[in-house]
């Protein structure tokens, strides 16, 4: 009787805590640590696995990250799971590089894959539970620990024998959206209860095993969850399933005695997300999710995500809205992507905060592997992303990019490349800095060989801009202009007119930067 009374008291206390803790908080900067990069970039010495991940988490804490999301899966897990294959299942650590496990990939790929798996396996051999140690170090640093699960990762879908794939996907092609329908046809179809049960098992294990502040379901790896024409029907199925997951999260919170939140990562436009069966607005209004991260898929950062539209649609919902920033930049699909500069990252971060996001969310912003980012500048830029006021004081840049994810029936025309004798583009500069900052507009222009390359005339909001420099860049001429301050208004789309003075031209890139 005493034991039963004590258990009831604990449950009641946990319930009261959940009721009295706000469901929504502005977390500050959030950062997603993917399931492989740490292992790819770190050698794990004997007996030093725990210390190695501690130092890694410490860097993110010093960068001002307030919420750190540990990704534990793709099509396998990076820890010894009871319900999913681990990355090293089927691998012989003592075997040669040409062992059957690596038969489907080239030798150089096998070497990289082997290094990653050996690092993961080192944690298991040293009896260090990687996610648990990650979480403990977050709490040591006062950082909120989350786990993020990829809900349909389909890397290497064109190579069914790749060691990336787990047995569930390999043994059940009938559960794919369209096994004969190309790369994304190999994504798992959530219309099948077996697929939902497969992911539910991983969620249950995560909640039972790890003491986290939140669980994120990453539907952007990948958002193709249902066959074409079945997204509306599938969306209803997914909403019902998400209600079950919500109950699991709430039960875990009661067991742990502290709030536990549920988040989702979805396409950057609410109409796109809904059309793909990911109706995050409805989920938030129904109390199913506490965090929504609108974001591009991966091909390019977006400087013009409609955070104000998300905010308007969410209405009185208490869900946190985070603006998702990808790490690649390209003006249009045919351009080779490159890593964003820290000025571009600052520009995108300022834009999402100024337009209604509660916080910034970074994806693939690794502390290693970006040689153009000096560590001091990386730390300074990320710390500034906790505050719009701090970002206003940072040099920053925004540009015209495109949407890399859209629903099957959604009509969309990318703004670049744009050709003609007179071209009109639109760009939102985001928040404006102080009056003594310069605003520079840069355009990369291609002209027909028969025409003379002369500087176009450029105006912003009807105000003419002054040419300041010209340079050659591969097949482009790059012109820079000083934009008059009176031409700019904060957080407003501006019409930018590029006049070729009667000559045809093609604009391949347009960027606006603030420099002091």
Q: 75-103 pLDDT, tens per residue?
A: 999 999 999 999 999 999 999 988 999 99
Residues near 70 by Cβ (< 8 Å), separated by ≥ 6? Answer: 33, 131, 134, 135, 145, 146, 147, 148
Burial class (CB in 10 A: 0-12, 13-18, 19+), 92: exposed
Strands 505-515 and 418-420 come out as: antiparallel
Domains of the chain: 22-395 (3.20.20.80), 418-515 (2.60.120.1200)
**Eight-class DSSP state of 103:** T
What element of type H or E holds 309?
helix 307-314
Burial class (CB in 10 A: 0-12, 13-18, 19+), 441: buried
Residue among 271, 506, 305, 514 nearest 396 (CA)? 514
Confidence of residue 123 (pLDDT cuts 50, 70, 90): very high
CA distances (Å), origin 360, targets 288, 293, 353, 393: 21, 9, 7, 17
For residues 276 and 305, the answer to whether their CB atoms sit within 8 Å is no
Confidence of residue 508 (pLDDT cuts 50, 70, 90): very high
Q: Is the pLDDT of residue 399 over 60?
A: yes
For residues 353 and 391, the answer to whether their CB atoms sit within 8 Å is yes
CA angle 269–229–268, rounded 5-degree value: 10
Q: Is the pLDDT of residue 15 over 70?
A: no
Three-class SS state of 61: helix
Residue 51 CB coordination number (10 Å): 14
Q: Is the pLDDT of residue 19 over 90?
A: no
Percent of the chain with pLDDT over 90: 89
Three-class SS state of 395: coil
Residue among 193, 287, 297 nearest 249 (CA)? 287
- pTM score of the predicted model: 0.94
Tokens (6 digits) for 83: 């319900």
pLDDT at 26: 54
Convert the pLDDT of each residue in 377-389 to its tens digit. 999 999 999 999 9
For residues 447 and 477, the answer to whether their CB atoms sit within 8 Å is yes
| Better pLDDT: 115 or 13 | 115
Residues near 297 by Cβ (< 8 Å), separated by ≥ 6? Answer: 220, 222, 223, 267, 326, 404, 405
Confidence of residue 27 (pLDDT cuts 50, 70, 90): confident
From CA 193, how far away is CA 491, in angstroms rounded?
45
pLDDT averaged over the chain? 93
pLDDT at 288: 98
């Amino acid at each position: 009787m005493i034991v039963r009374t004590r258990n009831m008291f604990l449950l009641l206390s946990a319930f009261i805590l959940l009721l009295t803790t706000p469901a929504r908080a502005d977390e500050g900067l959030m950062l997603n640590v993917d399931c492989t990069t740490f292992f790819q970039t770190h050698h794990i010495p004997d007996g030093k696995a725990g210390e190695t991940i501690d130092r890694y988490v410490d860097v993110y804490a010093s960068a001002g990250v307030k919420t750190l999301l540990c990704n534990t899966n793709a099509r396998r897990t990076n820890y010894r799971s009871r319900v999913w294959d681990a990355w090293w299942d089927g691998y012989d650590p003592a075997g040669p590089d040409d062992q059957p496990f690596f038969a489907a990939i080239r030798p150089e790929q096998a070497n990289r894959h082997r290094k990653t798996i050996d690092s993961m396996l080192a944690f298991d051999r040293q009896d260090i539970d990687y996610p648990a140690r990650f979480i403990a170090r977050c709490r040591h640093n006062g950082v909120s620990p989350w786990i993020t699960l990829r809900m349909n990762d389909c890397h290497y879908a064109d190579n069914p024998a790749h060691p990336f794939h787990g047995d569930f996907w390999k043994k059940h092609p009938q559960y794919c959206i369209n096994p004969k329908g190309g790369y994304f046809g190999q994504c798992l179809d959530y219309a099948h209860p077996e697929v939902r049960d497969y992911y539910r098992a991983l969620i249950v294990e995560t909640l039972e095993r790890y003491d986290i502040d939140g669980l994120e379901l990453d539907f952007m790896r990948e958002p193709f969850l249902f066959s074409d024409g079945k997204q509306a029907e599938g969306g209803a199925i997914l909403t019902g399933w998400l209600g079950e997951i919500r109950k699991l999260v709430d039960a875990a919170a009661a067991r742990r005695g502290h709030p536990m939140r549920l988040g989702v990562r979805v396409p950057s436009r609410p109409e796109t997300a809904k059309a793909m069966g990911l109706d995050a607005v409805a989920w938030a209004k129904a109390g199913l999710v506490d965090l929504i991260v609108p974001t591009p898929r991966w091909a390019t950062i977006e400087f013009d995500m409609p955070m104000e539209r998300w905010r308007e649609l969410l209405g009185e919902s208490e869900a946190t809205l985070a603006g998702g920033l990808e790490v690649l930049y390209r003006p249009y699909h045919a351009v080779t992507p490159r890593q964003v500069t820290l000025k571009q990252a600052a520009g995108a971060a300022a834009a999402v905060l100024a337009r209604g996001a509660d916080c910034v969310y970074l994806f693939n912003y690794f502390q290693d592997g970006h040689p153009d980012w000096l560590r001091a500048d990386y730390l300074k830029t990320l710390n500034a992303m906790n505050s719009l006021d701090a970002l206003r004081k940072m040099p920053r840049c925004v540009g015209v990019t495109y949407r890399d994810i859209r629903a099957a029936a959604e009509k969309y025309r990318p703004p670049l490349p744009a050709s003609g004798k007179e071209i009109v583009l639109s760009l939102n500069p985001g928040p404006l800095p102080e009056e003594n900052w310069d605003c520079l507009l840069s355009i990369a222009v291609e002209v027909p060989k028969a025409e003379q390359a002369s500087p176009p005339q450029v105006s912003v909001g009807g105000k003419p801009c002054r040419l300041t420099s010209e340079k050659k860049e591969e097949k482009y001429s790059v012109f820079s202009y000083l934009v008059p301050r009176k031409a700019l208004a904060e957080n407003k789309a501006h019409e930018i007119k590029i006049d070729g003075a009667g000559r045809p031209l093609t604009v391949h890139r347009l960027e606006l930067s603030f420099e002091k």
